[in-house]
Amino acid sequence: MLNPEAHAVSSYHIGVDDQLQISVWHNPDLSVSVPVRPDGRITVPLIGDVEAGGHTPEEVAAVIKDKLQSYVRDPQVAVILTQLRSHEYLSRVRVTGAVRTPVSVPYRQGMTVLDAVLAAGGTTEFAAPDRTELYRKSDDATTKSYAVHLGDILQKGALDTNYPVQPGDVITVPQRSF
């Protein structure tokens, strides 16, 4: 079985409705705060529209710098994300099944399966915690499942299956068979 250890997000990819602060050093007239439009573009003074959606802040800064070179000598450009609105639903962890309150919680760095289950109020008396599954979409769009021995985590403190969660994960706690 593959170990679903959390991989550090290499870089944030800008999405629609994110708010960006564009700073051009020594050029306050070119520095603006702009939202990413539904078409994925932003408007920058002097150069017009720039594709931002799906790109990293560093990539967008490089494009803006390149386009500004015609107008400004050696422009120093920084792109700072001031509001991350586009990933509100993508960056969530969902807990379903035999938990007190099924929830969709915002992903936080360092969050584990236990953190997410506790945010759902813990398991019910009808739960089969050792049959808990963590479902994760992989890069090739397939969904992989990982067995979580939640009963061992809760009762014995055995943390070997208390996996770090990632944005988009779904944790399902099944009910016992009677």
What are the domain boundaries of the chain? 19-83, 92-173
Whether residue 116 has pLDDT greater than 60: yes
What pLDDT, on the 0 to 100 scale, is given for residue 4?
Answer: 42
Give the torsion sign (CA, 18, 19, 23, 27).
positive
Position with higher pLDDT, 107 vs 32: 32
Whether residue 94 has pLDDT greater than 90: yes
Share of the chain above pLDDT 70, in %: 92
CATH level 3 topology of 19-83: wza like fold (3.30.1950)
- Tell me which of 3.60.150.10, 3.10.560.10, 3.40.50.410, 3.40.718.10 is the CATH number of domain 92-173: 3.10.560.10
| Count of other CB atoms within 10 angstroms of residue 30 | 20
What pLDDT, on the 0 to 100 scale, is given for residue 72?
Answer: 92
CA dihedral 150, 152, 153, 159 (to 10 degrees): -110
pLDDT for 130-139, tens place per residue? 999 999 988 7
What pLDDT, on the 0 to 100 scale, is given for residue 9?
Answer: 41
Whether residue 12 has pLDDT greater than 90: no
Share of the chain above pLDDT 90, in %: 76
**How far apart, in whole angstroms, are the C-alpha atoms of residue 77 and residue 32?**
11
> Which 3 state secondary structure label does DSSP give 6?
coil
Region 60-88: mean pLDDT is: 91
Confidence band, pLDDT 50/70/90 cuts, at residue 27: very high
